[in-house]
Amino acid sequence: MVKISENKYLYRIMRFDHAVQVLKGTLFFSHPSQWEDPYETHVKHSYDHAIFAQCWTTASMSDAMWRIYSPNFLGVRLRTRVGKLTQAMQAYTANNKGFKRRLEKVRYLGQADYKKETVQLESLMTDSDFSSPSLGADLLCIKRSAFEHESEVRAILFNSNAERKEGGVLKGIAVDFDGIDLIDSILFDPRAPDEICHAMRHYLKEVLKFPGAVRKSKLYTVKPR
């Protein structure tokens, strides 16, 4: 596990309404089955129903990330620090018995190396002497190199109280915390219409009373020579 500096910035691009939920105090940790990449859940193990996660990135400026996570130009980018997210997760696990947490950088591997490592982890997971939720979390911290542009950090929660249910798994866990304290700045999609940006900024500042910086990304702004 590679230790991440507590002062390191983390970013997350999401729909405006989802960002409002975060600022109002709800972090949603999804079950990996809700994600598009089928490789996230192709290894089955005894803990796979009880591990939930959310994805952040260390990439502050990324054309690819805006295009992927803000397809309608109306997404917003939230910024926090590793230390703040860690504190929010620590508070939740301390107040909810049976929960464990992890915050870790994703490692990106070529197809052959990815297959080799997942096969090794799968072998350990099927051995009752070595199987553990920690190994299940390890599986979520490796991805194929095709996703390397994401520069991803994963926040992971394991719920030892979760029961396996027939017909599906729990879609996610809503974690309560102080959203205004967690997020320190908000950036609008550089392609968003100015009128929409003004309306969103008004809501964030005047209704939610968000104290941090709120502005439109200048990714595509050409500076005069």
Please say whether the beta carbons of 159 and 98 come within 8 A. Answer: yes
Residue 135, phi-psi category: left (phi > 0), alpha (psi -120 to 50), beta (remainder): alpha
Q: Across the chain, how many H-helices and E-strands are there?
A: 7, 11
DSSP 207: I
The C-alpha atoms of residue 168 and residue 65 are separated, in whole angstroms, by 30
The C-alpha atoms of residue 209 and residue 183 are separated, in whole angstroms, by 12
Question: What's the pLDDT score for residue 177?
Answer: 87
Long-range contacts from 117-121, C-beta under 8 angstroms, 24+ separation: 117/142, 118/42, 118/43, 118/142, 121/43
Mean pLDDT, each 10-residue run in order, the chain (225 residues): 86 96 94 92 91 96 92 96 95 94 96 95 85 93 95 96 81 88 96 96 97 94 79
Question: What's the pLDDT score for residue 148?
Answer: 94
